Amino acid sequence: MSSLEAIAIAIIGFIGGLLLIYYGFISFKHYQVIRDTPTEKIQSISVGTTEIKGTAKPSNENEIYKHPLTKDDVVYYDLEIEEHHYDDDGSDWEQVEHISKGEQFIVDDGTGQVGVFVMKPRFEFHDDNITQETFTISPESEPPDVLKQFQDNESSWVPNFLDKDKYRVTVKSIKAGEDVFVFGEAEIRDEIESPTNEDNVIITNPSMDRFEISQNDLNKANPNIFDNRGIPFIISTQNEDELQSDLKWSGPSGLIIGLLISSISLYFLASWFIV
């Protein structure tokens, strides 16, 4: 490794460590907000910051999808495809496609139903909601449907089965009929006039305007910490206690690990420039 590469790694480490500290701080803030906000019943939901729990359902017949791997009915999925590469440094996986489906779904808590607009939320998936499979492509066998669909459709990426032999597919999903926890902002849908919350109110990201986000951005939703640094917008298939526990420990661990990484990186940077 050249000294320039080493300095670059140290700079990345230093900045990465600081970002990790910031991430830990944001996660801890989210933990506190969720802990201190009572859960509302949907029949009496009020405009503003809200926390609800219930069952996920499709908002209409067009908003229900098939899980790319298991073929279960889902209201949202996030699909990531990685291609296996061999190069001089060894072998690794490179992400070649990343899409999501599911713009909106309904949450029903038994007292009523309300729409949730999936606009760059912080997703917290239970392990059961994450499916990963690795496919080895050979000339004798038919490629799996989940990869073949990209050959058949007009998409930005087309798989090259002649050149690449291994693909890894990861799907994160919210199944229809599954329990979900949603934290966000309830707003009135001025475009609809209805006495029921199902039509009249929607839960969305408080940091964004749902009329300004493009369809492209929704389908390629890849939220980062800066999308949710204020009041968070969280969609979770974990229950509230599990979610709080994860977020609570993200804070101090982000601080400690971030501090360690940035301190070590700073030590190396200082040793090159000062000594």
CA within 13 Å, CB half, 107: 30
Q: Name the one residue in this structure whose structure tokens are 């992400």.
A: 95
| Contact call for residues 10 and 269 (beta carbons, < 8 A) | yes
Helix axis angle for 240-274 and 3-36, nearest 10°, is: 150
Q: Please, what is the minimum distance in Å from the beta carbon of residue 3 to another protein?
A: 17
> Which residue, 157 or 267, has its beta carbon nearer to another protein?
267
Q: List residues bridging with 114 in a β-sheet.
A: 107
Of 41 and 148, CB closest to another protein: 41
In the numeric block, the tokens 């460590």 are attached to 17
Residue number with CB closer to another protein (37 or 160): 37
Q: Decide if 63 contacts 104 (C-beta within 8 A).
A: yes
Residue closer to another protein by CB (options 45, 221) is: 45
CB nearer to another protein: pick between 114 and 169? 114
The residue among 51, 63, 132 whose CA lies nearest residue 100 is: 63
For the bound state, the minimum distance from the C-beta of residue 260 to another protein, rounded and expressed in Å, comes to 10
Enter the tokens of residue 198: 């199902």
Least Å distance between CB 115 and another protein?
Answer: 19
Smallest gap, in angstroms, from Cβ of residue 124 to another protein?
21
Quote the least distance from Cβ 237 to another protein, whole Å. 24
Q: How far is the CB of 113 from another protein (least distance, A)?
A: 15
Query: What token pair was written down for 165?
Result: 């032999």
Q: How far is the CB of 196 from another protein (least distance, A)?
A: 10
Residue type, 176: A
DSSP 8-state code for residue 142? P
The residue among 151 and 263 lying less far from another protein, judged by its C-beta, is 263
| DSSP codes joined into one string, 73-100 | EEEEEEEEEEEEEEETTEEEEEEEEEEE
Which CB atom, from 11 or from 266, has the smaller least distance to another protein? 266
Binding site for another protein (CB under 8 A): 21, 25, 29, 32-33, 36-38, 40-41, 43-44, 46, 48-49, 111, 255, 259, 262-263, 266-267, 270-271, 274-275
Smallest separation, CB 27 to another protein (Å) = 12
CA distance 124 to 243: 7
What distance in Å separates the CA atoms of residue 48 and residue 59, rounded to the nearest whole number?
Answer: 22
Closest to another protein by CB, 44 vs 216, is 44
- Which residues does residue 132 pair with via DSSP β-bridges, in sequence order? 170
If 0-12 CB within 10 Å is exposed, 13-18 middle and 19+ buried, where does residue 49 land?
middle
